[in-house]
Amino acid sequence: MDRSQAVLRRFLSHVVILAIVAWIIALCPVIAARADDVGMNKSELIRGLLPTVVNISVRKDEPAPPPATADADAPAPPVTPGADIKSYVGSGFVIDPSGLIVTNYHVVEYAFEITVTFSDGSRLPAKMLSASRTADLAVLKVQPPHPLKAAHWGNSDKLQVGDQVFAAGDPFGIGLSVSAGIVSGLNRDIQNSPYDDLIQTDASINHGNSGGPLFDMQGNVVGVDSTIISPTTGSAGLGFAIPSTSAQFVVSQLLKYGWVHPAWIGVKIQTVTREIADAMGMPAPQGAIVAWVIEDGPAKKAGLTIGDVILRWDNFAPTDERALLRYIAHTPVGQNVRLSVLRDGAERTLYVTTDAWPRNQWDKNDAPTPVERPKIVIPPDLGLGLSILPEDAKAKFPPALDMKGVLVTSVAANSDPALKGMVGGDIILRVQDKPVSTPDEVRAGIDTARTGKRDYVLMLVLPKKSDTPGPKWFALQLATAGG
CA dist 106 → 6, 64, 129, 263, 356 (Å):
81, 16, 15, 24, 26
- Going by C-alpha positions, the residue among 55, 246, 218 that lies closest to residue 152 is 218
End-to-end CA distance of the chain: 109
Q: Is 252 exposed, middle or buried (0-12, 13-18, 19+ CB in 10 A)?
A: middle
Helix, strand, coil % in the chain, rounded to nearest 5: 25, 35, 40
Burial class (CB in 10 A: 0-12, 13-18, 19+), 144: middle
| pLDDT at residue 357 in the model | 86
Q: What is the pLDDT of residue 84?
A: 66
Q: What is this structure's pTM?
A: 0.76
Q: How would you classify residue 87: left for phi > 0, otherwise alpha for psi between -120 and 50, otherwise beta?
A: beta
What are the CB-based long-range contacts (under 8 Å, 24+) for 289-292?
291/267, 292/267, 292/268
Identify whether the C-beta of residue 222 lies closer than 8 Å to the C-beta of residue 156.
yes
Yes or no: domain 1-62+81-257 corresponds to CATH 1.10.3720.10: no
Q: CB–CB of 371/378 below 8 Å?
A: no
pLDDT digits (tens, 9 = 90+) for 159-193: 999 999 999 998 887 888 899 999 998 878 766 66
263-356 and 384-477, same CATH topology:
yes
Q: What pLDDT score was predicted for residue 235? A: 60
Give the span between the Cα atoms of 412 and 354, in whole angstroms.
57
Q: 3-state SS string over 395-412?
A: HHCCCCCCCCCEEEEEEC
What's the rounded Cα separation, in Å, for the pair 142 and 123? 10
Class of domain 263-356: mainly beta
Report residues of the chain scoring pLDDT below 50. 7-8, 11-12, 15-18, 20-21, 23-25, 27-40, 68-82, 481-483
**H helix and E strand count, the chain:** 9, 26
Answer yes or no: are the C-beta atoms of 479 and 455 closer than 8 Å. yes
The predicted pLDDT at position 77 comes to: 44
Residues identified as active-site = 106, 136, 210
What are the sequence ranges of the domains in the chain?
Answer: 1-62+81-257, 263-356, 384-477
pLDDT tens digit string along 72-97? 344 444 444 445 678 889 999 999 99
- Predicted confidence at residue 152, as pLDDT, reads 96
Q: Say if domain 384-477 classifies as CATH 2.140.10.10.
A: no
DSSP letters, 432-480, are TTEE--SHHHHHHHHHHHHHTT-SEEEEEEE-SS-SSSS-EEEEEE---
In Å, how far are 44, 173, 298 from 38, measured between CA atoms? 10, 31, 54
How far is Cα 342 from Cα 145, in angstroms, rounded to an integer?
58
